[in-house]
Every structure is written in structure tokens, then in C-alpha cells.
């Protein structure tokens, strides 16, 4: 149970972020987004961080990268082509665990705390799918989060799936992208899945990684 408490210690206290002076952009190029691209895909292709892209672009809705949208990539000098296929074979790419309206956004306030993940509307009993392949490192009931699964994607990324009624995997299982790992619960309220993506132990906005619905 300890790993669950470490990973899901609730939400983080609100911290004041330092102001960043972005009046003058550094050397870089503009990438023209194609359909199906995400901030994560673009960052990987150019070998920059997601935060680099977020900090240097006024992206109104990071969950909806539009086709032909121009995105500034700092510190690079050559345009990269990002391969996107209809049946995406990229095992590293992230997929939605369930598909539904976002009920609670990453970073939204709950009292004096910030939300570390997103709440995705679903129906009770809906299957929850693995966002990527990896190994199950936690699969148990966690106080305040109901039945929870944590998957180690073996490259510094972890994904967290909470507020489930039933688990379909067990500790140590190796799972593939799209596998059913749990079923959504209601907990006496509107059913939703609580979902996190963590990089090197720190929560990141899942909408940076998930493709446009």
C-alpha cells in the first residue's frame, strides 16, 4: 500500500510559480502541426521538453492541437517530420484510457490544493484501457481513490487509474497498450476515471500526451 500512498498523496499544495520573461523568443523554428500530433509527439521529435513548447507558445487549448497550427520550437534549426499512421503502431504513443468529457482539469483547485491528474467522465462499468504498454506496479484498493492501478511504462513514465469498481489486472502483470485493466466505478456519484501521467516521479498534464478526440 506504501507505493500508492507515495504516488497518490492527494493533491499538491498551491505554489506560486516564478514569472518567466518570454518577450524575446530564442533561436528556433516553427513547426506546422499535422492531424493527430500531440505536444508530447512534437517534443519527442525535436528532442525538447514539453515545458519548452508550452512556455514559448500561447496554446489556448493544449488538448486540441489543430491541423496546420504553427508551434514555435526553441533551440532547433531543422524541421522534423512526425510519422502518423491511421492504425498508429507507435507503442510509445499514449491513448485515452476512457473517452469522455473532462470533469476536472489538471491543476484545478480543490480548496488549497491542486489537482495532479484529470477526471474523465464515463459510465459505471466502462472498461479502462492501458494508455501504453508496461508493468503493473500497484493494483489494490486505496483509501480515497477506490480501486487503483499504477503502470510503470519502463521509460520514466507512469500512469495512474483510480476510482474503479473492479480491477482486471494484478501486481506484476505486463500489459499492452489498449488492454483492459479495470472497470469504472461510481462511488455514489457521477462515474468518472481519475487519470494521471507522471514523468520521473512528477505529475504532468495528461492532455499534453493524449491525442485529440
Helix runs in the chain, H state only:
2-7, 39-46, 50-55
Q: What is the pLDDT of residue 201?
A: 86
Q: Is 208 helix (H, G, I), strand (E, B) or coil?
A: helix
Residue 137: φ, ψ to 5°: -110, -5
Please tell me the distance from the alpha carbon of residue 189 to that of residue 28, in angstroms, as a whole number: 48
pLDDT at 189 over 70: yes
Helix (H), strand (E), coil (C) string for 167-196? ECCCCCCEECCCCEEEEECCCCCCCEEEEE
Please tell me the distance from the alpha carbon of residue 185 to that of residue 127, in angstroms, as a whole number: 10
The full set of domains in the chain, from first to last, is 28-74 (3.10.350.10), 91-208 (2.70.70.10)
Mean pLDDT of 69-78: 90
Of 96, 149, 98, the residue nearest 123 (C-alpha): 98
| pLDDT, tens digit (0-9, with 9 covering 90-100), for 82-139 | 876 554 566 788 999 999 999 888 878 777 767 899 999 999 999 999 999 999 999 9
| pLDDT, tens digit (0-9, with 9 covering 90-100), for 133-188 | 999 999 999 988 899 999 999 999 999 999 999 999 999 999 999 999 999 998 66
Amino acid at each position: 500500500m506504501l507505493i500508492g500512498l507515495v504516488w497518490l498523496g492527494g493533491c499538491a499544495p498551491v505554489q506560486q510559480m516564478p514569472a518567466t520573461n518570454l518577450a524575446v523568443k530564442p533561436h528556433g523554428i516553427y513547426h506546422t502541426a499535422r492531424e493527430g500530433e500531440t505536444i508530447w509527439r512534437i517534443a519527442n521529435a525535436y528532442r525538447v521538453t514539453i515545458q519548452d513548447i508550452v512556455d514559448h507558445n500561447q496554446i489556448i487549448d493544449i488538448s486540441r492541437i489543430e491541423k496546420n497550427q504553427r508551434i514555435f520550437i526553441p533551440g532547433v534549426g531543422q524541421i522534423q517530420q512526425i510519422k502518423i499512421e491511421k492504425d498508429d503502431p507507435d507503442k510509445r504513443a499514449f491513448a485515452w484510457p476512457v473517452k469522455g468529457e473532462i470533469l476536472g482539469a489538471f491543476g484545478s483547485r480543490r480548496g488549497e490544493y491542486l489537482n495532479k491528474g484529470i477526471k474523465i467522465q464515463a459510465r459505471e462499468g466502462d472498461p479502462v484501457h492501458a494508455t501504453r504498454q508496461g508493468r503493473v506496479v500497484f493494483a489494490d484498493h486505496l483509501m480515497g481513490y477506490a480501486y487503483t492501478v499504477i503502470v510503470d511504462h519502463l521509460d520514466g513514465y507512469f500512469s495512474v487509474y483510480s476510482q474503479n469498481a473492479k480491477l482486471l489486472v494484478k501486481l506484476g502483470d505486463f500489459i499492452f497498450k489498449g488492454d483492459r485493466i479495470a472497470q469504472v466505478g461510481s462511488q455514489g456519484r457521477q462515474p468518472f476515471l481519475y487519470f494521471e501521467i507522471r514523468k520521473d516521479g512528477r505529475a504532468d498534464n495528461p492532455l499534453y500526451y493524449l491525442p485529440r478526440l
